[in-house]
Amino acid sequence: MALLTFHGATRQVTGSCYLLEANDQRVLLECGMTQGFRRDEESNRNRFPFDPKSLHAVVVSHAHLDHSGLLPKLVAEGYSGPIYVTPPSAELLDLMLKDSAGLQERDAEWENRWRTRSGKPLIKPLYTQRDTELALELLQPLEYRQPTMVAKGIEVCFHEAGHILGSAIVAVTIHEAHNLTRKLVFSGDLGNQCSPLLQPPATLDEADLVLMESTYGDRDHRNQEETLAELQQILDQAWREGGNVLIPSFAVGRTQDLLYYLGKFYQNGTLKQQAVFLDSPMAIAATDIYSRYLPASEQERKLAGDGQRRGRLYNWLPILKCTPSPEESMALNRIKSGAIIIAGSGMCTGGRIVHHFKHNIWREECHLVIPGFQAKGTLGRRLVDGEKQIRVIHQNLAVKAQIHTLGGFSAHAGQSQLINWLKHFKHCPELYLVHGELEKSQILADTIHQQLGWPASIPEQGEQIAF
């Protein structure tokens, strides 16, 4: 018998964390940050509800911080075993966790300046660059479809999830006495099957227990053709009205898809903007990693020429300009029209996008394109919900820009895609819906029951099940 405890991403989208216990072994699936409301993010400072020293292995589905962002903290609190990821995820984690550590250190420094003046006790960063370096040393890359024993009697196999580069569906086989086996399948984040740069999610047909994400469990996304047509219309309108286009985008995945599609518009002669700025050091570095792993199409090879794989997207989209330094980023403030600015963070919770808000969002001719999910409590969610006054960088700003939400660019599967993935299992598994706001998970559970006749449970934080 195996035990599974839900320690995160229950009835909410972020904070993925599940503890598997079998054969006197403890394996942690995911170690993610909670993101959203400030009170929720404060929970990242809590001690883990298990002893990190007692873990035998950690398995992470992909590099997004809501699945991986507390790995350095786990190591700082005593974990020293292997962390299993795919090879592309290992490279992306090196980039993303170091960036996150820098942010934790800077946030603590700023907070302590205020605390020093007010006489309050100082705080420590959630984790440091040193903690991150120690965590990165523990990474053990595993290729897709390569079954590996990660602990006594516990075998893990990664399968393509199609969400971001290196993302994986995690299949766990528990080998028990008398040749008995139990199989757990964790979907990770399933892709939307429309990314031009990734393979679609793999399908599996056997499982005793399935943990499936439900971020968009309440609806389907618009199809790709309609989404691209709407983006083209927005860009044309912004050009006519003389404003800039701001796109807050996740540095890994969403940004690379957007650059591909903007390049497609450019190649078709329909992109009127004079320049596309990639204003995110992390996104620039992530794009280089993508270029190393993704096979180039015949058209891209012709455009790039021999020996120029790093420059593929730059050749595909020649008006793309990268602005890695703060000085280059600030220089964009002088551009009042004709530019597309892609910057982080994806949910507008910080990063360079908020500086561009300061110079653009109060202008009626500015267009703000939201290309993905915005968690409750984030500035991006408030803008999508129609908030007309925001406060960023210690300034109150009127929101007069035109806000556009393009759900078709989501890197997550929609409701029908989730159910179609589930249909491939030969027999009804014990099914738990995670990674979704409660009302969306409930809609998905009801729809699964209507269409498949299968029951689906929505676990609570700390709930433990035996299987």
Q: What is the DSSP string of 313-348?
A: HHHHSTTEEE--SHHHHHHGGG--SSEEEEES-TTS
Mean pLDDT of 237-252: 95
Structure confidence at residue 354 as a pLDDT band (50, 70, 90): very high
DSSP state of 421: H
pLDDT of amino acid 463? 98
What burial class does residue 391 get, using C-beta atoms within 10 Å of its C-beta: 0-12 exposed, 13-18 middle, 19+ buried? exposed
Q: Between helices 129-136 and 87-118, what is the axis angle to 10°? A: 160
What burial class does residue 463 get, using C-beta atoms within 10 Å of its C-beta: 0-12 exposed, 13-18 middle, 19+ buried? middle
Tokens standing for 273?
């903007």
Phi and psi torsions of 341, nearest 5° = -115, 115
Lowest mean pLDDT among 151-155, 253-257, 335-339: 253-257
Tokens standing for 367?
């267009």
How far is residue 313's CA from residue 323's CA, in Å, rounded to a whole number? 15
Over residues 168-185, the pLDDT tens digits come to 999 999 999 888 999 999
How far is residue 245's CA from residue 268's CA, in Å, rounded to a whole number? 20
CB within 8 A of 118, min separation 6: which ones? Answer: none
Structure confidence at residue 303 as a pLDDT band (50, 70, 90): very low
Torsion angle of C-alpha atoms 44, 45, 50, 53, degrees rounded to 10? 110
CB within 8 A of 283, min separation 6: which ones? Answer: 249, 251, 252, 255, 342, 344
Q: Which region holds residue 269: left if phi is over 0, alpha if psi is between -120 and 50, else beta? A: left
Kind plus residue range of the DSSP H or E element containing 188: none
pLDDT of amino acid 305? 41
Lowest mean pLDDT among 48-62, 137-151, 340-354, 421-435: 340-354
Q: Is it the case that residue 231 has pLDDT exceeding 60?
A: yes
Hey, what domains does the chain have and what are their CATH numbers? 3-219+411-466 (3.60.15.10), 224-409 (3.40.50.10890)
Over residues 369-393, the pLDDT tens digits come to 999 778 788 899 999 999 999 999 8
Lowest mean pLDDT among 61-75, 148-162, 399-413: 399-413
Contact (CB, 8 A) for 276 and 317: yes
Phi and psi torsions of 443, nearest 5° = -60, -40
Q: Is it the case that residue 299 has pLDDT exceeding 60?
A: no
How far is residue 194's CA from residue 427's CA, in Å, rounded to a whole number? 28
Radius of gyration of the chain (CA): 22
Mean pLDDT of 121-130: 95
Structure confidence at residue 319 as a pLDDT band (50, 70, 90): very high
Coil vs helix vs strand at 155:
strand
Mean pLDDT of 134-145: 98
Contact (CB, 8 A) for 151 and 19: no
Coil vs helix vs strand at 185:
strand
How far is residue 51's CA from residue 73's CA, in Å, rounded to a whole number? 12
Q: Are strands 154-160 and 168-175 parallel, antiparallel or unpaired?
A: antiparallel
Longest dimension (CA), the chain: 72
Tokens standing for 2?
């195996």
Q: Give the up-direction half-sphere exposure of residue 84: CA atoms within 13 A in the CB hemisphere.
A: 26
Contact (CB, 8 A) for 430 and 17: no
pLDDT of amino acid 301? 47
pLDDT of amino acid 294? 72
> Is the whole model's pTM more than 0.75, yes or no?
yes
